[in-house]
Amino acid sequence: MHQPDRVMLREVAPRDGLQNEPPVPTGDKIRLIDALSRTGLSRIEAVSFVSPKAVPQMADAAEVWAAVEKHSGISYSALAPNRKGVERALDAGFTAVEVVVSASETHNRANIGRSVAESLAELPDICALARERLASVEVIIATSFGCPFEGDIAPAQVARIVAAAEAAGAGRVAFGDTTGMGTPRRVTDLLDAVQAGTDLPMLMHFHDTRGTALANLLTALDRGVVEFDASVGGIGGCPFAPGASGNVATEEVVHMLHDMGVETGVDLDALIRTAGLAQEIVGRPLESGVLRAGPRTSLSPRP
């Protein structure tokens, strides 16, 4: 199997993680982002600019962003569902924004209240606006590996969105396994459908809902993907299965990659301490195995 020398991780706990947990105080969000900024991570998804009615967890996005430490080596990003959100993100000073659209028509309507075609129609304008403000745009394609309402999603449908994103002027595409329906076979099928058709950098976002996150990541590595999302402590549940895992834990990704000799730039011990902070903030035991059991190098006293 092919493996790269280095992988780029984006930490999504402050946004994707906390958006799927009961609301936490603004100060805790700032503490979490600041702690993450000191672990060696090079990208952090900090907040989203969404309707505070629909997503009260992110109502203080501008306040959080104004208060956090900005480290020069880190690219901080904000997610938005539409042009209005992107404007708010740019106004707040972000130079990297993510726009989300679902590969599934049903999920896009449930998630952001409009059709896929309406989402795609707005992309050229969003990209032009960002370009004026010297910001980059990533298009996140949710439900890329399956939709909780529609089931399997044809890879060709995902490829059409990639083509639309590229034509609009986006700088990167991300494939979201929104409810953990991905398997190595789905990763392979998706890459077969999209890799030849675009020059855009690609990122994959896996959930560990059904235990496959690291197997999926390994499959993607073998196919040349070197950018991944992950959430410290694995925070952020699965929206359609109460109690089930959501995002793959960043420390589980780093732990595996480092043992394989793949660099991430992250200090694993500092990251595990930050997972402990995340656990304290959300106030429930987290599911990350590396948080609970420690890394494989953490030995027991000899009997």
Catalytic residue list = 238
First to last CA, the chain: 38
* Least Cβ distance, residue 88 to a second copy (angstroms): 26
- Residues 57-96, one symbol each (x = binds a second copy by CB under 8 A, - = not), give ----------------------------------------
Q: Which is nearer to a second copy, 14 or 146 (CB)?
A: 146
8 A C-beta contact, residue 61 and residue 80: no
Bridge partner list, 96: 136
- Considering the complex, what minimum distance in angstroms separates the CB of residue 106 from a second copy? 6
Q: How far is the CB of 230 from a second copy (least distance, A)?
A: 11
Taking the C-alpha atoms of residue 45 and residue 52, their distance in angstroms, rounded to an integer, is: 18
* 17, 85, 146, 233: which one binds a second copy (CB under 8 A): 146
Rounded to whole angstroms, the Cα distance separating 199 from 212 reads 27
**Contact mark string toward a second copy, 212..231, x via CB under 8 A:** xxxx-xxx--x---------
Give dist(CA 139, CA 125) in Å, integer: 13
**Of residues 170 and 217, the one with the C-beta less far from a second copy:** 217
For the segment 4-43, give every residue that binds a second copy (CB under 8 A).
none
Positions touching a second copy (CB under 8 A) are 1, 106, 109-110, 146, 148-151, 179-181, 183-186, 208-215, 217-219, 222, 238, 240-241, 243-245, 248-249, 252, 255-256, 259-261, 285, 287-290, 292-297, 299-303
